Amino acid sequence: MKSTATQLGTAEIGRTFSWVDLVILLSVFGLAWTILHFGHGMTVHFDEGQSPEISTDVRNIPYYAGRTVLRMWIAFGFSLLFTFAVGYAAAKNRVARSIILPALDILQSVPVLGFLSITVTGFMALFPGSLLGVECASIFAIFTGQVWNMAFGFYHSMVTIPNDLQEAATNFRLSPWQRFGTLEVPSSMHSLIWNSMMSFGGGWFFVAQSEAITVLNKNIKLPGLGSYMATAVEKGDNTAAVWAIIAMLAVILASDQFVWRPLLAWADKFKMELVESGQAPQSWLYSFLRRAYIFPWIEEKILRPLADAFVQLKKNTSAIKLIPENPRKLAGRWIPRILGVVAGCWLAYQVVLGVIAAVDAVYNHISWGQFGHLCFLGSLTMGRVTLMTIVATLIWTPIGVWIGSRPDIARFAQPFAQIAASFPVNMTFPFVVGFFVAAHIGINWGSILLIAMGTQWYILFNVIAGAMAIPSDLKEAAKTYRLSRWAIWRVLILPAIFPFWVTGACTAAGGAWNASIVAELATWGNTTLRADGLGAYIAEVTQKGDTPMIICSIAVMCIFVVLTNKLVWRRLYGYAEKRFHLD
C-alpha cells in the first residue's frame, strides 16, 4: 500500500527521530523474537504415544497464551491470503464465480469441528514425528472457522465498487496490480477490517477447542490456553482454570486494543462517502504511531529509491523488447487459461476421488435405519437451535433497543458485546456443567443454555446496531403523533431493526450448530453429560474415530444447515431487503 506511507509522511508528523521511534523499533524487535521463540515450539518432536505434558503452573500461562495467539495469527494470515485470492477470482472471472460462490455457501454451513479428527490424521501423516502436523490441524480448524465470511465480504465489496471509480482506473490505464492497490483493496478496506474482526473473534472458540482433542481414542494436547484449561479441569484445579479464563480475556482485549482499534481508526478514511462522517473511531495506539518519524523515513530513504530503481530497470528492459509485443500478449492471455483449466481438472479429479471414497466407506457401513436415527437426532438439535434463537431474541431485543437508543451507553456497550462474543465460552462450559450437576438440571435442556452462551451476542449487537441506525426524524415523527409505546414498536422499531436482527440471528444459528458439537457432550471432572442430539453424536464418533459415521453425521448436519439457510434465512433476508430497507 504505497498510498499510506506517503500519507504518514505528511502534515502534523514529527520531522526527527524521537523516543517514539525507539519504542516502535524495540517493539518490532521484541515481536520478531517472540514469534521465533513461540514458533520454535511448533516444530518439536511429537510421538503419537505420548503427547506433550501440559503443566498447570500459573507461571506457564504467558507462554501458552503466546502459542495460542501465534496460532490465531497464522490462521488469520492464511485466511487473508485466501480471501484476496478467492474473492478476487470470483469478482473478476465469470467461470470462477459460478464455482466459488456456491462452494463458499456450502462450506460456510459445514460444522468445522466435526472434521477435526479427519484433518488431524491427515496433517499428522503429512508431518510424521513432528508436532507441526497437529499444529496445522488446529490452525486449519481456525482457518475454516473464519475464512468464508471474509471471502464473501471481500467479493461483495469488490463487485459493489462504484462504476465511475472503476472507469477512472480503466481510463488512466492502471495495471491490475495498481488497480488492486489503488482502488480494489482500499474500497473494500472498511468491510474487510470489520469482517476480519468478527471472524477473528469467532476464531478463539475454535482455537480453544482444537488445542485439546480426543481423536481415535487418543488425547492430543497442543501447548496453549485451551489445553491449559482442559488440563486444569481434568485435574480439578479451579485456581488454574480461573487464571486461564483471565488470561484469555486479557489476550482478547489486547488483540482489540493493539490491532483492531488502531486498524479501525486508520481505516476510517476508506469509507466511501464523500461527506465528513460524524464520529471517527479513536485509538491511542494509532495516535501514538502517527507521531513516529520512522515510517516517513522508511518511505523516503528505502521505498523511494527502490521504486525508482525498479522503474529504471523496467525502462531498460522495455526498450529492448519493444517489437515482439504480440506473441507475449497472446501468451499472456492463454497461459493463465490453460493453467486454470489444468488446476480445475485436477481439483475436480480429487473431489471425485474423495466423493467415491466417502460413498464407498459409507455404503457398507450404514443402514437406512441408522440414517433415520441421525435425522431424528438432527431434528432434536435443530429444536435446540430454534429455541435458543427465539429465547435469545425475546430477551435481547428489548435490551438491545434500549441500549441502541442511548448513544452514550451504546458507545460503551457495543465493544463490550463484541468482546463477549469473542470469548470462547467453551472454556467456561466445565463450570456451567458443574452447576448443572449440582442443581440437577438435565443436559438435554441445559445444553440449550450452553449453546446460547456463545451465540446470543450476535443477536444483541446486531439489534444494538439496528436501533442506533434508526433515523432521528422518524423517531421524532413518531413522538409528534403521540403514538403509544406499542405502536412505536410496531410501526417504527421492529421494522427498522428487522434486517439487522436477520443478520444477527442467522449468524447465531449458524454458530449454534457448531457449538452443539461441544455443548451436547460436556465433561466436568469425571462426570460426562450427554444430551440426545446430533452434536453429541458427532462428538462421540469423532472421539472413537469411526470415519464412515463421522462423514454421515456431518453430512446430515450440513443438510440441516443448508436447508434452513435456503428455506428460512435466505427468504427472510430477501424480505427484509425489500420491505424494511432504510436509505
Partner 1 sequence: MTAALKPSSTKAAAQGPVIAELCNITKTFSVAGGRELKVLDQIDLAIHEGELLALLGQSGSGKSTLLRCLTGLTAPTSGRVMAYDKVLDGINPYASIVFQTFALYPWLTVEQNVAVGLMAKLLTRAEKEAAVEKAIDLIGLNNYHDAYPREISGGMRQRVGIARALVAEPKILCLDEAFSALDVLTAENLRNEVVTLWKEQATSLKSIFMVTHNIEEAVEMATRICVLFPHPGRLGLVMENNLAYPRNPHDQEFERLVNVIHDTITMQALPDHPPEPAPVSGRPISRARARLESIPTVPVGRVLGLLSILQDHPELDNIYDIANEIGKDYGETISLVKAAEILEFVDTPKDEVRFTELGKKFMDADSDTRKKIFAEQVQKLRLFHIILGYLEVQEEIDRETVMKDISTALPYENPEKILETMIAWGRYAGLMDYDANTEMVTRPEEEEEEEEEEEKTEVGG
Which of 108/182 has CB closer to partner 1?
Answer: 182
Write the CA distances from 307 to 5, 8, 172, 315, integer angstroms.
13, 18, 20, 12
Range in contact with partner 1 (rule: CB under 8 A) among 35-43, 184-192, 282-290, 508-516 = 184-192
248: which 3 cell numbers? 484469555
Range in contact with partner 1 (rule: CB under 8 A) among 136-144, 173-181, 234-242, 374-382 = 173-181
Residue choice 60, 121, 130, 178 for contact with partner 1 (CB under 8 A): 178
Which of 308/476 has CB closer to partner 1?
Answer: 308
Range in contact with partner 1 (rule: CB under 8 A) among 6-14, 81-89, 431-439, 498-506 = 6-14
Residue 175 binds partner 1, judged by CB under 8 A: yes
Which of 33/481 has CB closer to partner 1?
Answer: 481
Residue 298 binds partner 1, judged by CB under 8 A: no
Which of 65/470 has CB closer to partner 1?
Answer: 470
**Amino acid identity for residue 315 in this structure:** K
CB of 182 to partner 1, least distance (A): 6
Residue choice 168, 342, 352, 567 for contact with partner 1 (CB under 8 A): 168
Alpha-carbon span 327 to 333, nearest angstrom = 10
Which of 40/173 has CB closer to partner 1?
Answer: 173
Residue choice 182, 381, 422, 516 for contact with partner 1 (CB under 8 A): 182
Q: Are 513 and 560 in contact (CB under 8 A)?
A: yes
Tell me the CA end-to-end span of the chain in Å, nearest whole number: 32
The residue behind cell 482485549 is: 253
Phi, psi of 223 (to 5 degrees): -60, 125
CB of 187 to partner 1, least distance (A): 8
Residue choice 272, 339, 347, 469 for contact with partner 1 (CB under 8 A): 272
Helix (H, G, I), strand (E, B) or coil at 130: strand
CB of 50 to partner 1, least distance (A): 54
Q: How many C-beta atoms lie closer than 10 Å to residue 306's C-beta? A: 10
Which of 174/437 has CB closer to partner 1?
Answer: 174
CB of 83 to partner 1, least distance (A): 19
Q: Are 150 and 192 in contact (CB under 8 A)?
A: yes
- Among the listed residues 393, 576, 395, the one whose alpha carbon sits nearest the alpha carbon of residue 495: 576
Q: Are 260 and 550 in contact (CB under 8 A)?
A: no
Alpha-carbon span 535 to 31, nearest angstrom = 40
Question: Binding string to partner 1 for residues 465 to 494, with x set by CB under 8 A, is what?
Answer: --------------------------x---
> Radius of gyration of the chain from Cα atoms?
26
CB of 163 to partner 1, least distance (A): 9
Q: Using the CB atoms, write b or e for 16-55: b if 16+ within 10 Å.
A: eeeebbeebeeeeeeeeeeeeebeebbeeebeeeebbebe
456: which 3 cell numbers? 446470543
Write the CA distances from 38 to 25, 32, 87, 244, integer angstroms.
20, 10, 31, 18
80-84 LR contacts (CB < 8 Å, sep 24+): 80/150, 80/196, 82/143, 82/147, 82/151, 83/147, 83/150, 83/151, 83/153, 83/154, 83/192, 84/154
CB of 272 to partner 1, least distance (A): 6
Residue choice 86, 91, 147, 183 for contact with partner 1 (CB under 8 A): 183
Q: What's the half-sphere exposure (Cβ side, CA atoms, 13 Å) at 560?
A: 27
Which of 2/37 has CB closer to partner 1?
Answer: 2
Residue 275 binds partner 1, judged by CB under 8 A: yes
- Among the listed residues 154, 224, 215, 219, the one whose alpha carbon sits nearest the alpha carbon of residue 187: 154
Q: Are 503 and 434 in contact (CB under 8 A)?
A: no
Range in contact with partner 1 (rule: CB under 8 A) among 171-179, 231-239, 254-262, 557-565 = 171-179
Q: According to CB under 8 A, which residues from 306 to 335 bind partner 1?
A: 307-308, 311-312, 314-315, 318
Residue 572 binds partner 1, judged by CB under 8 A: no
CB of 523 to partner 1, least distance (A): 50
CB of 308 to partner 1, least distance (A): 4
Question: Binding string to partner 1 for residues 144 to 163, with x set by CB under 8 A, is what?
Answer: ------------------x-
Which of 170/370 has CB closer to partner 1?
Answer: 170
Secondary structure element (H or E) that encloses residue 219, with its range: strand 218-221
Alpha-carbon span 229 to 514, nearest angstrom = 20
Number of residues counted as binding partner 1 (CB under 8 A): 43
Q: Which residues bind partner 1 (CB under 8 A)?
A: 3, 6-7, 10-11, 162, 164-165, 167-175, 178, 182-183, 186-187, 189, 269-276, 304, 307-308, 311-312, 314-315, 318, 491, 495, 578-579
